[in-house]
Amino acid sequence: MDVVHLETDILVIGSGAAGMMAALEAAKDGASVILADRSLIGRSGATIMAQMTVAVALGSQTPDSWEHHLADTLAAGRELCDVSLAQLVCEEGPRDILQLDAWKVGWARNDDGSIRQALAPGHDRPRCVYVDFLSTGPAVAKTLRGRVLRQKEVTRIGDLYITDILVTDGVATGAAGFSLADGRPVAVKAKAVVIATGGLTRLYQRNSASANMGGDGYALALRAGAELTDMEFVQFFPIGHLAPRLVGMDPIMWDPFRYKLGGRLLNAEMREFVNDYGNEEAGTYNVTRDRATFAILSEVKAGRGSPAGGAFLSFQHIPAETLRASFGPVIDRLAANGIDLTQMPIEVAPIAHYHMGGVKVDAQMRTSVPGLFSCGEANGGANGANRLSGNAITEAFVFGRTAGRTASLHARSAGNADAPVRAGALDLVSAVTPDGGEIHAGLIADLQQTMAVNVGPFRTEEGLRRALVAIADLKTRLGALPPGAPGPYNMARLDWFDLRTMLLVAEAVTRSALLRKESRGAHQRDDFPAMDPAFVLHHTVKLAGDDIVLDRAPVEGRTLCEVA
C-alpha cells in the first residue's frame, strides 16, 4: 500500500483546547502547522466534554490574585506540584480567559457586565468562570475551532492515528501513523512535534472521558525516549452519576449543583458523612476531590453505601423554585430522565476523570527529547497528587499556547527538516497478518476491569501485583503485529493499536503506584494509609528497550510554606 508523505514545520497531535491553542500560537509567525487528530478536529478529547467551570484569578467577583490561586493549587497538590508549572497556569490564566472573551466565547456575566465567577471546591473564593454549567467545554471548543478554521497556516487532518514519534539522531523529526479512513500508512516530517492528546481515563471501566483517551501521548513520549512523571496519580471525580439511568447528560454534572446549592452527600443511613473523615465542609461543600472520593468509598467499604454502590446526593431540602432559578433547562432534561430532585436523591460514586501525571516538561513545555513538546492533560507535574477543581481548561490554554510558541521558535532554527523517514518506521502500520485469534476489544475490557479493581482509588501491594500479572498476560496475548490488513475503518486493527498503548500506560501507572508506599492525594494505599514525608518526590518513568524503568526525582520549585 502506498505511503502518504506529509511535511510541515510543526506537527500538533490532538485537537482539544491544548492542541488548538498550540496550533494557533505556532502559526502566528507564519509557521506551517499540521493539526492531526484520530477523530474529528476540535470535536474529540476532553475539552468538548467539560461542561462546567474554568479556574482563573480575574478578581471580577471578589478581589483575587494569581498568588492566591497558586496557594490553593499547591494545597490541593499535596506538596508534589512542580511550582514553576503551577505558577505558569495561575499567572498566565487570566490572559487566556480574556483572549477567549475577546473571541466571543460567551462567559457568563454579572449584572454590571463583569465576568461572573463561581466558588468551586478547594478554592478560597469565587474564581471559576463558565459559559453555563453544562456548556462551557463545548463553547470553548467551538470558539477555538472557529479560530483554527480561519488560520490558513494550519492544515487540519482528522482520522489520522499517530502510532509513533519519528526520532533521528536523538531529535524528534515527525511521526508515523495511518489513516483510519483508508488504512494507508502516513509519514509526517516536521521540525517540531507537540503532543496534545489528553489523558488516560479510558484505562478504567467507569470513566467520564471520550473513547480516545487511552493514554496515546504518554506511550508516544515513552517510545520516543521522553520521561513521564507522577503516573500513579489518577483523579477520580467523586460524584459521578451512578443511578438512576441518565441518558444524554454528563456523568460529572453534579459538581456545580452541589457546591452552588449545597447538595448533601448521604450514606445508607441518610446521614451526612464527609466530615467524618477529617474534612471541615461546614456547609460550604468545598472539600477537594481526593478527600470526597475517599469519604464516599470508605462508607461503601463499611457497608453504608447506596444500593448501587455509591452514596446518595440529595437536594430535597432545596425549594423547587431555587433549583429552577439556578439550573432551569437542566431541571427539564432531568425530568425527561424521570428524575425529580425535589422528591428523590440520586446515587453518585467516584469515576475516573483526569490524570495528574504525564509527560515530564519544563516551563517551556520542552521534553527531554529535542524537538518534542507536550501540553494540556498530557503533561505531568503541575497538579501534584490532586488537581484543583477548574484548573484543567486553564492548563490547556496556558500550556497549549506556551508549547506552540516554543515549538515555533525551535522550528525556526531546526536543522532536521530534511531528515529521512527511516526504513522500518512504517512496518507496523503496513503489516499484513492473518485475521482471527484474539478479540482485542474484549482484551481492552479485561484491562479496564483489572485497573478498576486493582489500581483504582484504593490500592494494595497485593492488588497492584495482581494487576501487573494480568497486564503481562495481556501483553502476551496482544502479539507482535496487528491483525488483518490495512483498510478503511478496520476496527480490529484499531483495537490492537489501542491495546498496545493502553498496556504500556497501565503498566507505568501500576508500577509507579507500587513504588509509592504511602497515601497522598488521589493515590490511596490501604496498606500504607498515611502520608510519608519520605515520598515528597516524583516518580519518573522511562523505557529501556521494552522495559519500564522507574526513578525518583526531587520536587522542583518552592515548598507550599514558602509560597504561602
Helix (H, G, I), strand (E, B) or coil at 359: strand
Q: At what angle do helices 83-102 and 66-76 cross, to 10 degrees?
A: 130
Three-state secondary-structure class, residue 324:
helix
Q: What letter would DSSP give residue 48?
A: G
E strand intervals along 293-370: 311-314, 346-355, 358-359
Inter-axis angle of helices 216-224 and 491-515, to 10 degrees?
A: 80
Q: Distance between terminal CA atoms of the chain?
A: 60
> Which residues does the annotation mark as catalytic?
289
CA distance 84 to 507: 28
As a 3-state breakdown, the chain gives helix, strand, coil percent values, each rounded to 5, of: 35, 20, 45
All cell numbers assigned to 249: 447528560
- In the block, cell 483546547 appears at 17
Extract the C-alpha cell encoding 450: 483489572
Secondary structure, 3-state, 61-85: CCCCCHHHHHHHHHHHCCCCCCHHH
CA max distance for the chain:
68
**Sequence letter at residue 26:** A
* C-alpha neighbours within 13 Å on the C-beta side of residue 57: 19
The x, y and z cell numbers of residue 41, run together, are 478536529
Q: Which grid coordinates are listed for 482? A: 496487528
Separation between Cα atoms, residue 513 and residue 458, nearest integer Å: 11
- 269: cell is 443511613
Q: Directed axis angle between helix 83-102 and helix 391-413, to 10°?
A: 100
Burial profile 111-141: b = 16 or more Cβ within 10 angstroms, e = fewer: eeeebbbbbbbbbeebbbbbbbbbbbbbbbb
Grouping H, G, I as helix, E, B as strand and the rest as coil, residue 5 is strand
Q: At how many degrees (to 10) do helices 320-336 and 254-261 cross?
A: 170
Task: Answer yes or no: are the C-beta atoms of 349 and 207 closer than 8 Å.
Answer: no
Contact 53, 390 (CB under 8 A): yes
> HSE on the CB side for 314, CA within 13 Å?
17
Closest alpha carbon to 376 in 203, 239, 200: 200
CA torsion, ordered 376, 381, 382, 386, to nearest 10 deg = 100
Task: Map 469-488 to HEC letters.
Answer: HHHHHHHHHHCCCCCCCCCC
